[in-house]
Amino acid sequence: MINFGYTSNKDRQIVFDENDRSVYQILQSKEPSVDICIQCGTCSSTCTTGQFTQFSLRQIIVNIHRGEMDFINEDIRKCMFCGKCQLVCPRSVNTRNIIQVLITILN
């Protein structure tokens, strides 16, 4: 490749039809309550891990649905399974099991 002395940024766009969205499908079959998430962010605001790192269960759920898998594998391992997210979730999503299932899928 010829070096023109500059680079271009990676496309940030979510190209829904080209993304591999299979992880969400497996997650959905193993933990159906993921579908009723309303993306309110109560889980991520109460999360101790999120206070000190970029970890956000809300964003993990939305990104996996879209097939945006960058950093997901690292992020899910930051969860300490304290379960506060599950206590506060207004829709009673089984949040801890979502992380547990994701770890199993991605291992």
What number of chain residues touch other proteins (CB under 8 A)? Answer: 18
Q: Residue 12 carries which side chain, given as an amino acid letter?
A: R
- Taking alpha carbons only, the member of 44, 45, 49 closest to residue 59 is 44
Q: Under the criterion CB under 8 A, does residue 71 sit at the interface with other proteins?
A: no
Q: Under the criterion CB under 8 A, does residue 68 sit at the interface with other proteins?
A: yes
Q: Least distance (Å) from other proteins to the CB of residue 82?
A: 24
The correct pick among 1, 7, 8, 17 for binding other proteins (CB under 8 A) is 17
Q: Residue 84 carries which side chain, given as an amino acid letter?
A: K
The correct pick among 16, 48, 77, 104 for binding other proteins (CB under 8 A) is 16
* Burial label, 46 (beta-carbon count in 10 A; 0-12, 13-18, 19+): middle
